[in-house]
Amino acid sequence: MIKYTGCVLLFIYVNVCLGQADTIQYGPTMRFPMNFDSKLFLMRDLNDFLNLYTKGGSVAQPDLMTMPLTDELNDIKRSEPLQNPSFFKAYLENVILLGDTSYFLQLSFLGVKDGTPMLRASFNLIAKQNIDHFIFSSPLQKNTQNWKRENIENITYISPDSIDKTKAFAFARLDSFYNTKINVPGQQTVFIKADNFPDALYLIGVNYKSDYAGYTYNSLSDYSKNKRVVISGRMGKFPNYDPHDTWHEKLRTVMSDSVINRPVDEGCAYLFGGSWGFSWFQVLDSFKLYVNQHPGADWLTLYKDGGKFNMGIYQNGIANILNALLVQKIQQEKGFPAVMNLLSCGRREKGDANYFKALGKITGITENNFNKEIDKLLK
């Protein structure tokens, strides 16, 4: 794998071109390995591409392997500390000819405050020319094109070396279990190895993003047309995954984050995937110790006020644990579609009125009898 590097903080870009927010800029010494007309087509289409995705746009037929990169472009021009939605400007730094009609691009988003340049992010793109227009994609496909591929059930594992078969089959079973819960039995997953989170970012075309400064291990995922891609930059032998986080990722393939009630979502993740490396039964046993140490606990107040309990060095939200118990009850009595209704009751709001309205409709549990019903579940 070839890792290209280029100069990021080019002061001349800033001095010459700072004022034009929606047009990508480049320095006067920039070399374009193409004729003049192709250069014009490239700049026109690259501007259109960036203006679409930096503003949260999408296309009808997205490329799944490019979606993790375009997600990272969303709102990239914004500076939250300065409350400026277009503080960072796009600068093209490098264009490299890969083949007759393919190019490797490097670009960054830079801003200047009090004479000091600030780097927001740096990206790599693949540009493919088709006569008078260019199509842009993530380098993910190119970066992994010579890697090994292995199919197990609904999973395609992509890795530069051998996979851990025991873990691969275990993940396939977990994925199938979650597919059943969210009612998408045929959903496919492409699972790609990364050594760590910076490597995962590099594979999709992100050289640097200030949001992730200091992150060592994490993963990226996206979804389109009943197929999911995961780039795992976690610790451990590949496939390296967290059952808890996998639930969150799977749920968002069928339900918009804008309607998901996070404590219920966490409750499902605890129930099905445990937390912090502990199984649900271990978490529950630890929570029951907390219950015994706090007789007569006011669960409604603890739920609303964000109460927590410690499990070793890890903190767990009490609302999450209580929802795991409630999800278990609802699933047993009414099936998982009823759980999905509770999951989609809306983002958490102060006072949790939307949550208790949905919970009351599904189970008959209201704010008035919440403490009594929770005590029953804890016996």
Backbone torsions φ then ψ of 336, nearest 5 degrees: -70, -25
Same domain, 244 and 277: no
Please check whether residues 228 and 179 belong to one and the same domain: yes
Domain housing 216? 148-251
Establish if 47 belongs to a structural domain: yes
Last residue of a domain, one of 139, 170, 195: 139
Q: Are residues 219 and 274 in the same domain?
A: no
Does residue 247 sit in the same domain as residue 266? no
Instruction: Please determine, for residue 1, whether its predicted confidence score (pLDDT) is greater than 60.
Output: no
Indicate whether 238 belongs to any domain: yes
Per cent of the chain over pLDDT 70 is 94
Per-residue pLDDT reduced to its tens digit, 116-148: 999 999 999 999 999 999 999 999 999 999 999
Q: Is the backbone peptide bond immediately before 239 cis, with ω within 30 degrees of 0? A: yes
Does the predicted TM-score (pTM) go above 0.85?
Answer: yes
Same domain, 135 and 15: yes
Distance (Å) of CA 358 to CA 258, 264, 277: 16, 11, 31
Is 270 contained in some domain? yes
Q: Evaluate if residue 32 carries a pLDDT over 70.
A: yes
Q: Is the pLDDT of residue 295 over 50?
A: yes
* Nearest C-alpha neighbor of 268 from the set 344, 208, 173: 344
Residues 275, 242 within the same domain: no
The pLDDT-based confidence of 22 (bands split at 50, 70, 90) is low
How many domains would you assign to the chain?
Answer: 3
Stretch among 58-62, 177-181, 187-191, 239-243 having the lowest mean pLDDT: 58-62
